[in-house]
Structure 1
């Protein structure tokens, strides 16, 4: 999904649509509709407005679409409540094992196919996300000790 479609769907899917959301962000419903209308070239959503919309709606499709457009995958780094640093470390280690196995299996025939490369990329992204979660949990643990 592209950024424009993500913004349009975020506003459209909000309970009450643009009418309800516009009130929450201090904008007229007509202006908001124009800003997220994929067929409108005169009104544009600013980054600050997109951020405010995501904050109010709790819908991060715009953020994910922007990241995907530039080749990134996002994952929230906040650890789940009650999770520990050790649990997060074990998750990273497990993902690394999955990656090693995928690379090993991919190389059995002496070449890496496009599908195998995509799977390796997905596993690398999951390791990065789990490592970010581990770092977040470590920071939380450090704050509770201090």
Structure 2
């Protein structure tokens, strides 16, 4: 039985990718791809696609390109890649635009946090079976750690909203 090497798409699901690969995947997965993003911002489609190609050594992404892809796709892989450059920095996205919070939203946040803790502990257990952490396993645990921190922050915000509603209700 031969072992198949993971593709960058496989890696993107399990670990934080380098910024150029996260931008490439975000644009590729966007409906219409890089051409659609270029059309939104009025930039040459061919140029943007060449810059997004991780194998094109002569074309480099600009900050404007980063902004276009991030704003159009809102892909979390890009934020993961950016914040991986800053040790111990994490992000989360506010889900509700209002300051109101129901008991159900609070319970959903607790359930999400519990799920993230469970996933992290499961993966740690699986990776410890051979007594050694491999690079791809460390990368996966880093991504899960960031998701866990995001779930903690989301729970805190939800709890504050809920407390505010209870105090005013």
TM range (shorter): 0.5 to 0.7
Higher Cα Rg, which structure: 1
Residues 102-113 of structure 1 mapped to structure 2, 5 A cutoff: 113=131
TM-score (norm 2): 0.51
TM-score (norm 1): 0.57
C-alpha distance 60-126 of structure 1, shift in aligned 2 (>3 A): closer
Counterpart of 2:56 in structure 1 is 40
- Residues 64, 73 of structure 1: 8 Å contact kept: no
Structure 2 unaligned spans of 5+ = 1-16, 126-130
Cα deviation, residue 32, structure 1: 0.6
Residue aligned with 2:75, SS: coil
Separation of aligned partners in 2, 1:129 and 1:6: 19
Counterpart of 1:134 in structure 2 is 155
Counterpart of 1:110 in structure 2 is none
Q: Is the counterpart of residue 12 in structure 1 residue 28 in structure 2?
A: yes
Separation of aligned partners in 2, 1:79 and 1:57: 16
C-alpha distance 52-120 of structure 1, shift in aligned 2 (>3 A): closer
Residues 61-100 of structure 1 mapped to structure 2, 5 A cutoff: 61-68=77-84, 76-79=92-95, 82=102, 83-85=104-106, 88=109
Question: Relative contact order (alpha carbons < 8 A, sep ≥ 6): 1 or 2 greater?
Answer: 2
Q: Is the counterpart of residue 51 in structure 1 residue 72 in structure 2?
A: no
Residue aligned with 1:44, SS: coil
Structure 1 unaligned spans of 5+ = 107-112
